[in-house]
Each structure stands twice: as C-alpha cells, then as structure tokens.
Amino acid sequence: MSNHIGYPVFRTADPVLALRLARQLVAVGDVRYARVSVDVELRTVPEVLRIRDALPDAWFRKEDVEDWTRDPSDPTGLHVGVHAPGLSSDPGFLSPHLPLWASMLDQPLGSIEEEFAALVGPNIGEIYWSSLEWPDVPDREIYREANNARVSLLFNSRSLESDERADDHTVLVHVRRASRDGSDLRHACWLAEQIGQAVIGPPQE
C-alpha cells in the first residue's frame, strides 16, 4: 500500500493568486473523477456564525482529543460533526468548544473553491483536491499515478498539520511517496515545472 507525500511548490500572500496556481496544477492531471474538499479552523463565535450562515451545507466539529477522553458520550455531537442548520447560535454553548472546524467534503470540482477562498479570511484553512490522475512522462521515468495524486492549498499556514499560523498561503502537490529512489521529488519537480514553478521546501506527510 502506497502513501502520498506533499511538496510545497508556491507561496504567496495573495489568496486569489494562490487559488489560481493551485487550479493550474490540478489541471495538469486528469480531473474526470476529481473531488474537492474544504476545511477551516474557527476560533471565535462570530467566525463560527459567519461561516455557518455562508456555508449552510458545512459540518462543524471539534478536534480536542482530551475532550473525547473526558466525555466519550459526546452530548454536543461535535465529536462526529453537526450540520450547519443544526448548530446552535448560542455563544454560551459555542464558546467552551472553540476552536471549531468547519468542512465540506468531496464536492464537485469548481463548486466551492472561489467561495471558500473569499470566506476563509484570517483563519487557517485548506482546499484539497483529490481523485486526480497524474500523467505518464516516460522520458523522465515518471509514470501514471492516481492513488496519490492530490493538490492542497493551505491558507494562513505552511503545514499540512494546520498547527502553525503564517501570513501567507502555500500550494502543495502530492505524489506517491518513494522510500529510496527519489522518484517522489522528481515527480513533484516535473509537476511544478508544468505551471512555471519549482519545489520550494521539504516534503510533508
């Protein structure tokens, strides 16, 4: 079983430009089966309510592992997720559970990207394209890849772990992880070249 690895290939303070480059990278692959997901961390009640109203199909959850341990019964429903229409607007309920994460998973390509990029604001967030297929490039010893072909756009963060805030936005290309022969870096470099960019940092898993 293979695993994917992500290489950063572009970074900018302009979210519109970051989205444009990410979409160019997505278009290098076969997108017939592509899906897009979005995820954003919300640290204040006004931000939770703003995103709830703007994305009525979003699901809200908390990622506090210690809270799971304290109360595995999950009376709030926020361990598994609460659909936006069912999320309380009461600050007294929301405040103790911050930060909350809002996500929409496996959406049609082109259905949510621009709206989400305009909504994310100062929050840490991600647009994630999956089910792509990278093409064969035999003369570079690069071969068709579907299982691990992905693109990520990180807003206000440089880490796929979303644990480090930044003042810019980073595009990563995901390829099949190679343990010894360096083919993952070669593949990432070729993909970056297709949109006039280059690998700009170490890989992330």
Question: pLDDT higher for 41 or 147?
Answer: 41
Q: pTM for the whole thing?
A: 0.93
CA distance 31 to 91: 41
Overall average pLDDT of the 89-100 stretch: 95
Please write the tens of the pLDDT for every residue from 26-67.
999 999 999 999 999 999 999 999 999 999 999 999 987 676
In this prediction, residue 140 carries a pLDDT of 84
Which residues lie closer than 8 Å to 82 by C-beta, 6 or more apart?
A: 59, 60, 61, 76
Overall average pLDDT of the 102-115 stretch: 97
In this prediction, residue 1 carries a pLDDT of 43
Burial (CB < 10 A; 0-12, 13-18, 19+), residue 73, is: exposed
Q: How high is the mean pLDDT of the chain? A: 92
Overall average pLDDT of the 151-165 stretch: 93
Contact 121, 59 (CB under 8 A): no
Between the two ends of the chain, the Cα-to-Cα distance in Å is 15
3-state SS class at 132: coil
pLDDT over threshold 80, residue 135 = yes
pLDDT over threshold 80, residue 179 = no
